[in-house]
Structures are given as C-alpha cells and as structure tokens.
Amino acid sequence: ADGSSEVRCLAGARACPPEDCGGTPGYEELLEVLFDPLHPEFEESRTWVGSAFDPERFDLRAVNAALARIPHW
C-alpha cells in the first residue's frame, strides 16, 4: 500500500441491481423479464429500470468517482 486512505475499485463486472428490485431473486427475475420482449411485464419493467439500464455495463471510472465522494476517515 502507498499509505493513501483513498478507496478505489480495481475491477468489476456487470451493473448493480436497481434499488427495490427484490434482492438477488428479484434481480434474477427482472433480468429474465428484460431479456424476453414477449414477457407480459417486459414494457413495465423496461420503463421502471429506464432505457439506459444495461445489466452488462460496468463503468470503473463512475464507480471510483462515486467512491471518491464518500467521506473516509
């Protein structure tokens, strides 16, 4: 370590689940719905998560920018 108290993410994969999706089981179900345009809840779910939601996206810079905004002791 370099003695810095800075918190950094070094790597990651996939987007985090949206708030209030029902934990791990709810997120798994949401992904099934989002990848099935014929599912009866597809349109509602797509609207809820927003058109920009991409479960495969991981933005290391955005994660580290968010971590930098958290006060560290």
- pLDDT tens sequence across 4-53: 667 899 999 998 898 899 999 999 999 999 999 999 999 999 999 998 89
C-beta separation of 15 from 57 below 8 A: yes
**Cα separation, 39 vs 54, whole angstroms:** 18
- The pLDDT score that the predictor gives to residue 16 is 86
Q: Which two tokens stand for residue 23?
A: 């934990």
